[in-house]
Amino acid sequence: MYKYDQYDQQIVDARVEEFRDQVRRRLAGQITEDQFKPLRLMNGLYLQLHAYMLRVAIPYGTLDSRQMRMLATIARKYDRGYGHFTTRQNIQYNWIKLSDAPDILADLATVEMHAIQTSGNCIRNISSDQYAGAAADEVADPRIWAELLRQWSTFHPEFSYLPRKFKIAVIGAEEDRAAMRLHDIGIQLLERDGVLGGRIYVGGGMGRTPMIAPEIKDFVTADDLLSYVEACLRVYNRYGRRDNIYKARIKILIHELGADEYRRQVEEEFAHVKSLGLDPPKAEFDRITAFFAPPAFSTDAPETIDRRDPDFAVWVDQNTAAHKQPGYAIVTISLKPTGGIPGDATAEQIDLMADLAERYSFDELRVTHAQNIVLPHVRKADLYAIWQALDGAGLAPANLDLISDIIACPGLDYCSLANARSIPVAQKIATRFADQNRQRDLGELKLKISGCINACGHHHAGHIGILGVDKKGTENYQLLLGGSGAEDTSLAKITGPGFDEDGIVDAVETVTNVYLAKRAEGERFLDTYRRVGMEPFKEALYG
Amino acid sequence: MKLLTGNDLPTGDVLWWTGSSWSRHVEDAADVGDQGESIARAEEGARRVNGAYVIDATATPEGPRPAHIKDRVRALGPTVRPDLTLKPADPAAGSWVI
C-alpha cells in the first residue's frame, strides 16, 4: 500500500500545527465559533449531540496494522474505548474533547493518517472496492487511481470551496462493491483493445434527492483520466448552484442542464485542461503503482479447507470470497453481531484485527462501505485459526450480505442532524432474524437504515431501506423496497405510510414473508421484488 | 417552560443553564422564560458555553423534560449505550427518552 513521501508527511505535519494554533486561539477567545467552525470542520471535527466527533480519513478504506492499532490507541486514549466505522470507509469517534484534537491529529500523523477533507465542500475521501487487488474479477487495481486522485485532490486550491461536498468512487471490476454510481463521480476501470481506461459516471448520489449517475463518457484512456475528472469538476465549480444548499450538488446541475449539455461542456473544458499537462508523468505514475504491487503470494498454498467444525464451515461459506490467487481467500469480518451496533468496534477488537492482518493478510486491512472489515489476502490454510480468534472476540458473525448485516447510520443516538434513531431499529431487526438458518434461507438481502433524509445509512440503495423521520415529535419509519448499490444500481421506492419502532420491525418481517411466498428458484429478495413489483408487498403491509 | 442548553467549549459536554451557572444534568435546569437569547449571548461571549440555544420543556416532578426527543437524547446520552449515559447504573433510564 502507499507510503507517504516527505511531501505528504510535511503537509500533514504542517496541518496539525496549524490546527493546534487555531484550537489554542479558539480556547483563548481570540476567534469566535463562527470563525472557528469552518476550520475545525476542515479537520474532521464536528460538534454532535453529546460531544465533538472526529472523523478520520481512511483513504479508499485501506490501512495497515500499524494504522489500525493507532485507531485503537485513539479510542482508548482519547475516546471511550471504541470507534465507529462508517459508510464512507472512514472511522468516527464520538466523545472527543476539543482540547485533545490537536494531539490526536499529531498521533495520527505519525502513522500517515489525518482527518483532512472528511468534511466541508471539498473532494472527500476517495472510496473504492474493498476487494481491490484481491478480487478475481478485477481488470486493474483501483487503489492506484484512488491514490492518484487523493494526491491530486488534497488541498486542491480550485476545489477547496466547491458549491457542495464531492464524493468520488473508483472500481476496477464488473461487480460494483462500492456503490459507484451513487457518487458524484464514479469511475469504472476497464480495458478496451488492450488499453486501460475508465468509464465515467457523473451526478449520482443519495441524500434528499437520490439520483443514479448517468454515463458521461464511455471510455477515457488512463493517460487522460485525471484531466477528464478535472474538467468534470471545473464545469461543476463554475455552474453549480451556491444559492441553495439543497440544490448545490452536481447531480442537480446535471439534472437541470441535461447529461448531454453537461457532457458537451466537459468535453470543451477537457480540450483545454489536457493542454495544461496535468496528468502525471510516467515516472510518478509508476512510483505510485509500485506501492500496490501484489504481495508475495505463496504459489503452492493449499486449496483445501478443513470444514469439520460446522460453525466454521458456515462462516467460510458466508464471509469469504474468491481470491485471484489460488490457495487464498478474501475474509470479511462482520461488525454486525446480533443486537450490536453496526460498525462499532472496541479498541480491543481493533487491535485484534490489526494483529490478524499482520500475521495472516500481508499486513493489510480494508474498511467496507457496509461497515465491515476485510482481510484481503488470507491463505485458506489459515482460515480456521483466524475464525477461532475472531469468534473469541465476538467478531465472527457469519452474516455477510444477509438481513442482519445491516448498514445503519449513527442516527439520533449520536447525530445532531438525525430525526430518528437508527441503531435500535437495526438491533431489533437483527434480533428478530437471529436464527442463522432463517437468515441463510432468505439469502442475500441488503437492509439499510438512515435516521434522516441525508441518507448516510444508504436507505435508497437497500433491497429493504428504512428512513427515520420526525412525525409530530415522535420517531416514525418509512419502508422502502427495491434499491441496489451494486452494478444493477436502482433506487428504492417508499411502500406507503410509515411505522413506529416496533411496527417497522414487523413490516420488515412481512415483506420477507411475501418474498418467501413468491420467490422463484434462485431469486434473491431484490429479484423477486423486481419481477412481481410493489403491489404484493403493499397489499401485505397495508391490506 | 423554556430551557437554555449548549456545549462546554473545551470538552463538548452537554450543558444546561441553572439560573446562575451551567450543569451537566437537565434536572438542574431552570426556566429561562424570555431571557434565553440574552443569557446565551453573554455566556458565549464569556466562553462558558458554545452553541447555546433555547428549547421547550415540560415541568415534571422529576425535573424538566425537554419536549423533543433529540434534546432528551442529549440530556441522557445514547439510548443504545446505557453505560455511556449520565445514568449508567439505571438500565431503565432510556425509557425517559422515549
Question: Whole-angstrom Cα distance, residue A377 to residue A301?
Answer: 12
Alpha helices in B1-98 (DSSP H): 36-45, 69-76, 94-97
Question: Whole-angstrom Cα distance, residue A83 to residue A368?
Answer: 15
Closest CA of chain A from B32, distance in Å: 21
Contact check, Cβ <8 Å, A418/B50: no
* pLDDT tens profile A83-114: 999 999 999 999 999 999 999 999 999 999 99
Longest CA pairwise span in chain A (Å): 68
Contact check, Cβ <8 Å, A412/B10: no
Closest CA of chain A from B82, distance in Å: 11
* pLDDT tens profile A253-302: 999 999 999 999 999 999 999 999 999 999 999 999 999 999 999 999 99
Quote the cell numbers at residue A280.
502525471
* pLDDT tens profile A212-265: 999 999 999 999 999 999 999 999 999 999 999 999 999 999 999 999 999 999
Report percent pLDDT > 90 for chain B.
93
Q: Starting at the edge strand that comes first in sequence, how are the strands of the sheet with A493-494 ordered? A: A407-408, A447-450, A464-471, A474-481, A493-494
pLDDT of residue A160: 94
The distance of Cα A248 from the centroid of its chain, to the nearest Å, equals: 22
- For residue B92, is pLDDT > 90? no
> 3.30.420.10, 3.30.70.890, 3.30.1540.20, 3.90.480.20: which CATH number matches A6-109?
3.90.480.20
Phi, psi of A173 (to 5 degrees): -135, 165
Closest CA of chain B from A353, distance in Å: 23
Closest CA of chain A from B6, distance in Å: 10
Nearest to A189 by CA among A234, A141, A149: A141
First to last CA, chain A: 55
Contact check, Cβ <8 Å, A421/B14: no
- For residue A136, is pLDDT > 90? no
Contact check, Cβ <8 Å, A424/B73: no
Cα angle A157, A240, A147 (rounded to 5 degrees) comes to 45
**Equal CATH topology for A6-109 and A134-290:** no
Q: Any CB–CB contact under 8 A between A112 and chain B? A: no
- B12, B14, B78 ranked by CB distance to A414: nearest: B78
Q: Which residues of A touch B77 (CB under 8 A)?
A: 50
Closest CA of chain A from B15, distance in Å: 10
- For residue B91, is pLDDT > 90? no
* pLDDT tens profile A315-339: 999 999 999 999 999 999 999 999 9
The average pLDDT across B26-37 equals: 98
Q: Which residues of B touch A95 (CB under 8 A)?
A: 84
- For residue A134, is pLDDT > 90? yes
- For residue A158, is pLDDT > 90? yes
Report percent pLDDT > 70 for chain A.
100
Mean pLDDT score across all residues of chain A: 97
- A33, A418, A424 ranked by CB distance to B80: nearest: A424
- B12, B70, B78 ranked by CB distance to A98: nearest: B12
ipTM (interface predicted TM): 0.96
Torsion of CA A73, A76, A78, A80, to 10 degrees: 150
Question: Whole-angstrom Cα distance, residue A475 to residue A498?
Answer: 10
- For residue A473, is pLDDT > 90? no
| CATH class assigned to A310-392 | alpha beta
Question: Whole-angstrom Cα distance, residue A376 to residue A202?
Answer: 29
Contact check, Cβ <8 Å, B44/A33: yes
CATH for A407-542 is: 3.30.413.10
Report percent pLDDT > 90 for chain A.
99
Residue of B nearest to A428 (CA): B80
The average pLDDT across A431-451 equals: 98
Q: A134-290 domain in CATH 3.30.413.10?
A: yes
Residue of A nearest to B73 (CA): A413
The average pLDDT across A487-497 equals: 98
The average pLDDT across A394-402 equals: 98
Domain definitions of chain A by residue range: 6-109, 134-290, 310-392, 407-542
Give the relative orientation of helices A101-109 and A6-27 as an angle to the nearest 10 degrees: 170
pLDDT of residue A91: 98
Interface of A with B in 53-82 (CB under 8 A): 80
Alpha helices in A28-100 (DSSP H): 33-41, 65-77
